[in-house]
Amino acid sequence: MLLAKRVMLRAIERQDLDALNSWWNDPALSALLGTRRHLSAPDETEAWYDAILARVEPHEGRTYAVCATVDGRLLGTAWYGSFDAQDRNVEVGLYLGQEEDRGRGLGTETMGLLLSYLFEDLGVHKVRLLVRSDHDRAVRCYERLGFQHEGMLRHHRFFAGTHHDFMAMGMLASEHVTRGLDGTQEDTGRNR
């Protein structure tokens, strides 16, 4: 389990699957994330969960349940993909399932927690992500954390009847900064 002030990352449990299935099939959330992924049947969600359980090594990637530290309520998921031991570059992502949980800094705190784990514990060299270029809230979140704009993928995905641009963003271990509760910044990057 990874713990921050308001969020924690823990292993996904079987009791989380109904909520996850509901969120994955929410058209508004799918559009926000820019995904066409729909797991409409519970057996597909079960198969996804079984695949997660089969990953035993950290370099194979992980998907975590994002939960509120106050009451343990499931908020969403955060994940990182598999990575090569030489390149040590990894793709990340997150979402919060309920609209009322967005825009409150929980995503920023979640990604900050995940970044600290990846850079400090796993020795990852670079973290990268793709975000809808017009998803201003998410772009600002990633910029606050220190992600750099690396390029634009024009008309990268087709959903909701049109093509959408996606921004590629990345952060190197040497750029990683931990933001304290008092607003101060402590550089925790290590040359890797």
Let me know how long the chain is.
192
By CB atoms closer than 10 A (0-12, 13-18, 19+), residue 157 is middle
pTM of the model: 0.85
Q: Which residue has the higher pLDDT, 97 or 71?
A: 71
Which residue segments constitute the domains of the chain, with CATH numbers given? 2-187 (3.40.630.30)
145 in Cβ contact with 111 (< 8 Å): yes
pLDDT in tens, 34-67: 676 665 677 888 888 888 888 878 889 999 999 9
Alpha-carbon span 95 to 104, nearest angstrom: 13
Distance, CA of 145 to CA of 178 (rounded, Å): 8
- Residue range 145-184, pLDDT digits in tens: 999 999 999 999 887 788 989 999 999 999 997 654 333 3
Rounded distance, CA 8 to CA 114, Å? 10
pLDDT at site 189: 39
Q: Which residue has the tokens 């690396």?
A: 150
pLDDT in tens, 104-151: 999 999 999 999 999 999 999 999 999 999 989 999 999 999 999 999
Strands 126-132 and 89-96: parallel
* Cα–Cα distance measured from residue 150 to residue 157, given in angstroms and rounded to the nearest whole number: 18
